[in-house]
């Protein structure tokens, strides 16, 4: 039997319009997300959608969640298989398709994990375990688009 965890976040946004701006149809996209006991996260839309390019945007955060969750799942399966991971890095890409009506969706995410391990005899297994990590990743399991991996592994 499984169990459930509840995660909570609070969002706060305030209009930056002044009385003379009331006829404008563009709202500020910047806002704050608060999660109890953690620093406030300042968020906006992506620059392409008239947001503040210096702030995180939901698309950044979704991709960041996938990269982070995959790494943690991967480290878990490596530990279960006796692989000593010495370094892990990734430079992921997410493809967002936007339609004429303004709607859109992610159609694919590609992860490019680069792993350094201590034992050269385990390189093949270390590469194969990315698939197992993807099967365990909470975030990847919640997505309706493919999360692909082009992994590399070397000896440190």
> How confident is residue 17, by pLDDT bands cut at 50, 70 and 90?
low
Percent of the chain with pLDDT over 90: 88
Contact 69, 62 (CB under 8 A): no
CA distance 87 to 153: 10
The pTM for the full model equals: 0.89
Whole-number mean pLDDT of the chain? 93
Residues 21-46 have pLDDT tens digits of 555 667 889 999 999 999 999 999 99
Mean pLDDT along residues 95-101: 97
pLDDT score of 22:
58
CA 12/CA 38 separation, integer angstroms = 15
pLDDT at 49 over 80: yes
With beta carbons less than 8 A apart as the criterion, state whether 83 and 126 touch. Answer: yes
Q: Give the pLDDT confidence of 137-150 residue by residue, as tens digits.
A: 999 999 999 999 99
What is the rounded CA–CA span in Å between residue 74 and residue 67?
11
pLDDT of residue 19: 53
Cα angle value 74/77/82 (rounded, 5°)? 120
């Amino acid at each position: 039997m499984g169990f459930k965890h509840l995660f909570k976040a609070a969002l706060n946004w305030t209009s930056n319009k002044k009385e003379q701006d009331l006829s404008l149809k563009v709202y500020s996209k910047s806002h704050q997300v608060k999660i109890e006991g953690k620093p406030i996260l300042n968020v906006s839309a992506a620059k392409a959608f008239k947001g503040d390019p210096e702030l995180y945007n939901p698309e950044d955060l979704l991709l960041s969640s996938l990269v982070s969750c995959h790494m943690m799942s991967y480290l878990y399966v490596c530990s279960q298989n006796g692989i000593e991971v010495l370094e892990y890095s990734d430079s992921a890409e997410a493809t967002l398709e936007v339609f004429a009506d303004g709607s859109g969706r992610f159609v694919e995410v590609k992860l490019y994990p680069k792993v350094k391990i201590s034992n050269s005899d385990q390189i093949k297994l270390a590469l194969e375990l990315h698939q197992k990590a993807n099967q365990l990743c909470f975030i990847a399991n919640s997505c309706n688009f493919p999360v692909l991996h082009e992994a590399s592994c070397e000896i440190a």
